[in-house]
Structure 1
Amino acid sequence: MAILPQYDTLVSTYPVTLWVSALGLTYIAHKSLKHLYSNHGSESALRWLPGPKPASFLLGNLGVIRTCTADTLDQWLRDYGPTFTSAGFLRRRELFVIDLKALAFIYNQPLMFSKPPFLINVARSLVGDGLLTVEGLVHRKQRKVMNPAFSMAHIRELTPLMTRHAKDLKDIWLDTVSKSTSGTAEIEVSEWLNRAALNIIGDAGFGYQFNALHDSSNELAMAFHDLQSTFSMVDLQGVLSMFFPILGRLPTARNKLVMRSKATMARIGMDMIERKKAEAEKLGEIDPRTLGKDLLSVLIRSNMKENPAEKLNDDAVLAVIATFILGGHETVATATSWGLYALAKAPAVQSKLRGELLAFPSDAPTMDELNGLPYLDNVVKEILRLHAPVAVTRRTPLQDTMLPLATPVINKEGKEVHEIFIRAGDSIVIHNRAGNTRADLWGPTAHEFIPERFENLPDTVSEVPTLYGNTLSFNYGARGCIGWRMAVLEVKALLFALVRTFNFDIDPTLRIAVKMVLAARPVVVGEEDKGPQLPLRVSLYKPVQL
């Protein structure tokens, strides 16, 4: 019995800690040098391309890219065009690409371009081997099984769940506003929208009730929140863990929290899977219309119909659950937060949208009715154009290839280049927000919030490889967002309930910036340490009496 305490004392002594640290630092130094020089060889074509100087030795220009600093990005585009090199981690050269021909080539070659290993490491540590992490034929198999869950017919059946949870949020804000003596309440909308979106994905995704709007103690919600919080901390350990996964195995407080959270998610997720399997096995005994309509139920039934070789195992289905939660609520909450921010800054647009919504005779529109509101559709397109929740996408080629360009590059030798040689392993940065606000495509008002632009789009955006609204916001091709239709509908349902009821304003002294966590979340400048937040002034809409 005394052995364990003695061993515990031994491994915590200073010499052993120092020895382990030295080994760890030696390993990291070796891998870092290998990473630094991996594309600095004489055969790399990236060294001949122009680009901005690195802002930091350790992080290069990642800080500018992560914070989506519009002025700097616009200056880069003016100086270098839509294709140039930028410095990444340890100043490694990265190819910054928003050239439309190059993007179409990348997105239409899913077996040639994959996520870079460090991003796969991050996603795998969050959700396991799901759509966000698997590549090639495995990705194709998972997507095939999941497609029925995201059909228009099925999303139509889920719409009442979305409108119900949106109404629940509206009622909570109504209560808050009614208790304000001034009739106006300052509400931190991003956290509330996060909770509402979590409720929607729990209900529509798994038939699971998070009850996040009324109770913050739900075990699964807390586990996911803890997991998110570890990846919102941009510290040295977090950055190094992306490139050196072995650091995730060290017994640090951060890693222990991740393991506890994932264990909770796996336990509850397996309970969901077993329940849905039992339900699906009754398919031949009862009316199918009485079975669960949530995404997981549909996926389980779809999976049972597949050939054994094509079926997803339980670990893959667990990864689907985690991916649903991650992609299904974070992006929706973020897009809606930025939407309310944009409307608060544009009262005329807010008023016009409210007029359309109030003219609708019901507070529970169907999917077709929501999609039939033209100005709401234009507003959501403009929100997603200016405020893409997934601001940056990364790819890496799996083999050497030539990347074609629509806009030629003048290299450092003064030669005009119409295609770029890229090597297997080169890092490609696709900045969706910068691509969505290119002045040469969208005109001089590219950075302005003008939903009416979608009534008469310029021909220049017709070549954008897109799933929605001529934007890059959902990516494109075989790896485009599988749930984009559902995400758009959720944003519409939330805006419908909230803008009909409330007027949104913002303190003009507040400066709001972008913080890249799992999505491009809003933060208050000067209060970044408080994490994502978006305080808005919310009051009950009162029609003008004539």
Structure 2
Amino acid sequence: MITPLTSILTAVLVLIGTAALRKAYRLYTFPLRSFGGPKTHSWITGSQHQSDIPDIILEWSKKYGRVFSFASVFNNPRVSIADPKAVAYILHNTDNYPKPDAVRYSLRRVVGPGVITVEGEPHKHQRKAMSPAFSAASVGLLVPTFIDKTVQLCEIWATECADSKDGVYRTDALKWFSWLTLDIIGLTGFNYNFRSLDEYKKGSTQVTTPFKSALDTIFSPAAFFSFVLKGYIPVLRFFPMPIDGPIRTAQEEMQATSVRLLSEAKVTGGKEARDILSILASVDSKSKDALSDSDLAAQIPTMFVAGHDTTSVLLTWAIFALTGAPEVQQKLRTTLRSIPTDSPTMEELNTLPYLDDVIREVLRLHSPVPSTPRVALRDDVVPLGEPVKDQNGKLHHTLKLRAGDTINIPILAMNVDPELWGKDALEFNPDRWAAVDSADAVPIPAVPYGSVLSFLGGPRACIGWRFALVEAKAILFTLLRRFEFELGVPRDSITSESTVVTRPHLKGQRDAGNQLPVVIRPLVEQ
């Protein structure tokens, strides 16, 4: 006798089997397989048999060149394209090359329908409406908050140094930068105080709030696993997992907090508004550029995700780079001390070209996001700047893609491509930028800043790139005028791993979590 449960299980197995057959067909008929690439190690992890994704990207790009094929999660075929002309074409043609469904599903589970997840006309409308809040004038008004919060961090570090036996503070830089940028994005993004630094006490863990607890749930390993699994196997979205209940509760808390913050922003918004949400909420609701309440609320978790993790890891890698080049650290410090104020304006920060060069070099070598996927919605022919040979010796001047083919843009590999940057491409050398006088001096087109791909490019380039840069400048300006930094462990013990963004950890100690051990020494006042 066939029971309802048997029928359901049979249907599920049929759906899964059909999906597996479709994937197998696409894999073995993938038109760009002839370019070769790394072998498939597993039907689950594909070619990615390691978790140190940035190292894999560089290894593959060096071995297989600018165009190669590989298998991603659940053995989905992808083509890696690092040709600058081809990448510019893909990034400009956003209507035909959105993020894959699995990625959009996962992002929507995290941040909802914000500017980084919507596509097409909704994205164009949201981006146009949000652009004034990220203008130079708007970001300039936020610099005092960047400085004030960093001074607060300096005071904590100075106390820790004074209380230690040898006058230095040994700690994890990543932890502190995460707390600092969390407080900053809360205050400047949507006027919410996470109080990470306000309530710090020696030996304590991070202070939490209901909103932060909800975000911790959303970003937990269990939630990440659920998002990936259901993203790549859509049929599983209909079946509950143990983490779904906590995720739902966290999303409800985030939504309630977002609605409350939006209500407060509408009251305080206006000419005196400083935080991004208040600026957006102050737009006349009858204006064609106004966002709906639901769209406004969706930007709150979006701003948190886009404006917190990326900046904290950028700062962490900046300290890592500077500890490996003491002469650069001292040269930068001397430059920063040439400004006769502890509270510079954005204009004053922008008069420091060497600070700009250091940050550009960190972005180039340590892009917070190492790669990004896109999917072709229609058959297309992608132009190449330079022809490439496949494994059969055939020369290709273009790449033919089918609808449904997935592309991987290896941001990090392009940022350190020796053909673009020279033989010292893997070296930290801020002085290289003195020779880069124009955007086309290094041929990575369509990018908003620094001739590097770290903020992507085209219509979907990071809308907050200016915010991130000015924030990083203000923080480094304040810290390096007061402290000297050394790495707290042997340099070769640091490696990196990526789950959306790339963080450092100690080799052989992944269970200890992401970290960057440093020694902080206060400088004698001059």
Partner of 1:142: 126
- Does the C-alpha gap of structure 1 residues 213 and 238 become closer, same or farther in structure 2, counting only changes over 3 Å? same
Q: Check 1:45–1:370 CA distance in 2 against 1; reply closer, same or farther (3 A cut).
A: same
Q: 1:242 is matched with which residue? A: 231
Matched residue, 2:108: 124
Following the alignment from structure 1 to structure 2, what is the Cα–Cα distance between the partners of residues 131 and 231?
Answer: 25
How far does the alpha carbon of each residue in 1:96-152 deviate from its partner, in whole angstroms, 9 at most, with x for none?
Answer: 011001011111111111001010011000011111211111110111111110111
Q: Secondary structure at the match of 1:533?
A: coil
Amino acid at match of 2:212: A
The answer to whether the Cα contact below 8 Å between 2:223 and 2:243 also exists between their aligned partners in 1 is no
Scaled by the length of structure 1, the TM-score of the pair is 0.88
For residue 248 of structure 2, what is the amino acid of its counterpart? M
Q: Read off the aligned partner of 2:36 and give its amino acid letter.
A: P
User: Structure 1 residue aligned with 2:261, among 272, 292, 317?
Assistant: 272
Distance 1:138 1:122 in 2: 18
Q: In the alignment, which residue of structure 2 is the partner of 1:220?
A: 211
Task: Give the SS at the match of 1:267.
Answer: helix
Post-superposition offset of 1:349 = 0.9
Q: 1:332-354 CA deviation, whole Å, 9 max, x = no partner? A: 10100111111111111111111
Quick check: 1:413 aligned with 2:399? no
Q: In the alignment, is the contact (CA less than 8 A) between 1:131 and 1:139 conserved in 2?
A: yes
Contact 1:249 1:255 in 2 (8 A): no
- In structure 1, distance between residues paired with 2:284 and 2:215: 26
CA contact (8 A) 2:503 2:514 kept: yes
Q: Distance in 1 between matches of 2:389 and 2:525?
A: 57
Alignment map for 1:298-447 (pairs within 5 Å) = 298-302=279-283, 304-307=285-288, 311-447=290-426
What is the letter of the counterpart of residue 468 of structure 2?
A
Give a deviation string over 1:416-443, Cα, whole Å, max 9, x none.
0010110111110011111100011101
Of residues 109, 115, 125, the one that matches 2:99 is 115
The question of whether the paired residues in 2 share the 8 Å contact of 1:130 and 1:323 is answered with: yes
Aligned partners of 2:376 and 2:260: how far apart in 1?
39
Note the aligned Cα RMSD (angstroms). Answer: 2.4
2:515 paired residue among 528, 533, 537: 533
SS at match of 1:521: strand
Residue identity opposite 1:258 in structure 2: I
SS of aligned partner of 2:243: helix
Aligned residue in 2 for 1:38: 26
Larger CA deviation: 76-85 vs 447-456: 76-85
Flag structure 2 segments of 5+ consecutive residues without an equivalent: 200-206
SS of the aligned residue for 1:86 comes to strand
Q: TM-score, normalised by structure 2?
A: 0.92
Instruction: Tell whether the 8 Å contact from 1:114 to 1:395 is kept in structure 2 after alignment.
Output: yes
Cα distance in 1 for partners of 2:274, 2:59 equals: 49
Structure 2: how far apart are the matches of 1:55 and 1:297? 50
2:459 to 474, 478, 482: 478
Instruction: Note the C-alpha offset of 1:64.
Output: 5.3
1:448 to 407, 421, 427: 427
User: In 2 relative to 1, CA 376–451 (structure 1 residues): closer, same or farther, beyond 3 Å?
Assistant: same
Query: Which whole-Å CA distance do the structure 2 matches of 1:303 and 1:356 have between them?
Result: 44
Q: SS in structure 2 opposite 1:408?
A: strand
Moved more, 48-57 or 199-208: 48-57
How far apart, in 1, do the equivalents of 2:401 and 2:92 lie? Answer: 16
1:51 corresponds in structure 2 to 37
Structure 2 contact 188–275 (Cα < 8 Å) conserved: yes
Maintained 8 Å contact 2:84/2:385: yes
SS, match of residue 429 in structure 1: strand
Closer, same or farther: CA 179–253 of 1 in aligned 2, 3 Å: farther
The letter of the residue matching 2:216 is H
Figure out how many residues of one structure are paired with residues of the other and give that number.
514
The residue type equivalent to 2:257 in the other structure is I
Write the distance in 1 (CA, Å) between the matches of 2:222 and 2:421.
Answer: 34
Residue 531 of structure 1 deviates from its aligned partner by 2.3
C-alpha offsets along residues 262-311 of structure 1, whole Å, 9 cap, x if unaligned?
1111001000111222344xxxxxxx54x32110011112362523xx64
Q: 1:23 to 1:523 in 2, by over 3 A?
A: farther
Which stretch shows the higher mean deviation, 151-160 or 527-536?
527-536
Match of residue 496 from structure 2: 514
1:97 has 2:86 as partner: no
Q: In 1, Cα distance between the equivalents of 2:132 and 2:48?
A: 38
Q: Aligned partners of 2:282 and 2:459: how far apart in 1?
A: 23
Report the Cα distance in structure 1 between the residues aligned to 2:161 and 2:24, rounded to whole angstroms.
54
Distance, in Å, in 1 between the alignment partners of 2:90 and 2:119 is: 14
Q: Does 1:201 align with 2:194?
A: no
Q: Gaps (5+ residues) in structure 1?
A: 1-14, 281-287
Return the offset for 1:249: 5.5
- Equivalent position amino acid for 1:264 in 2: E
Distance in structure 2 (CA, Å) of the matches to 1:464 and 1:315: 35
Please report how far the alpha carbon of residue 40 of structure 1 lies from its aligned counterpart in structure 2 after TM superposition: 3.2
Q: Post-superposition, which runs of at least 4 consecutive aligned residues in structure 1 deviate over 6 A?
A: 15-23
In structure 2, how many angstroms separate the alpha carbons of the residues matched to 1:375 and 1:527? 35
Q: 2:172 aligns with which of 179, 185, 188?
A: 188
Give the Cα separation in 1 of the matches to 2:159 and 2:17: 56
Residues 74 and 320 (structure 1), Cα distance of their counterparts in 2 relative to 1, 3 Å cut: closer
What is the SS of the residue equivalent to 1:186? strand
Aligned-partner residue type, residue 535 of structure 1? P
How much does 1:369 deviate? 0.8
Shift of 1:93: 2.1
